[in-house]
Amino acid sequence: MKKHLLLFVILCTAAAVSAQSYAFGLKGGLTVGSQRWSDFERDPSYKMHGIAFIESAEEENNFAIFAQGGYHIKGSAMRNRTFSNPINGDLFRPPAYEFLFRNVSLTLGGKQKFAFTGASKLYYMLGVRGDYTVSTNLAQYNDFNEQNPAYAIFPFDDSEFIREFNYGLTLGGGMELPFSEFVGMLLELTINPDFSLQYQQPAIPNVTDPFTSMSRTLPERKVRNLTLELTLGFRFLHKIEYID
């Protein structure tokens, strides 16, 4: 049912765009990834993203319906953290770790535009977004988790815990800077919160602590994505004129 609804929305967007002038282009830039884990906040990750887009283009260029698809690396990191050795209590600082989810996204929404200077436009945008997780880097932490089962501080590379399909919003704003009637640039800043959980691991009971031989329960772990994206791109206008 969800797939049929998504296909219907895409076809409606394509039909609306094809019936009039439209703009399209490519854009990309910096993704600052943030994740709120159940126990504490992680440090941000810094990656790149790329997006292809198409939007309606009315004569006054005051409003547009858009669809865009992109590749986004979301996640978080652990940097400059100090831990205590469970054997002797000594403090140590491990190297930086990143927890990355490589997602492809589809966003459908609208832009409201305002005149700025000359032919330039300022705009704000709001879209509904769906993500599919292509891969992660969690497998590189399997050895540590297996060797330290009672102190598994990293997420598990387990398909039961990793959510493949996620959804959320894209909201933000930007500026269109035309070079000519048909070619221009855009600069955009968006915030992209997920409503669904990227990772959800239930509590795991009866894990033996190798240092005390006592059993303990690993707490439930929930991970939700939030990204801030700074984007620069090119916009091309395909203008349709009707002649009587």
> What's the pLDDT score for residue 42?
81
What confidence tier does 90 reach under pLDDT thresholds 50, 70, 90?
Answer: low
> What's the pLDDT score for residue 108?
97
> What's the pLDDT score for residue 159?
85
If one compares 56 and 15, the residue with the highest pLDDT of the two is: 56
Q: Domain 2-238's class?
A: mainly beta
Domains of the chain, by residue range, sit at 2-238
In this model, does residue 151 exceed pLDDT 70? Answer: no
pTM exceeds cut of 0.85: no
Q: Which residue's structure tokens are 């989810």?
A: 101
Least confident of 8-17, 46-55, 90-99, 123-132: 8-17
In this model, does residue 1 exceed pLDDT 50? Answer: no
Tell me the per-residue pLDDT of 161-196, one tens digit each, with 9 for 90 and over: 999 999 999 999 999 999 998 999 999 999 999 999
Pairwise CA distance, residues 201 & 157, whole Å: 11
> Contact, 233 vs 196, CB < 8 A?
no
What confidence tier does 150 reach under pLDDT thresholds 50, 70, 90?
Answer: low
Average pLDDT of 195-219?
Answer: 80
What confidence tier does 243 reach under pLDDT thresholds 50, 70, 90?
Answer: low
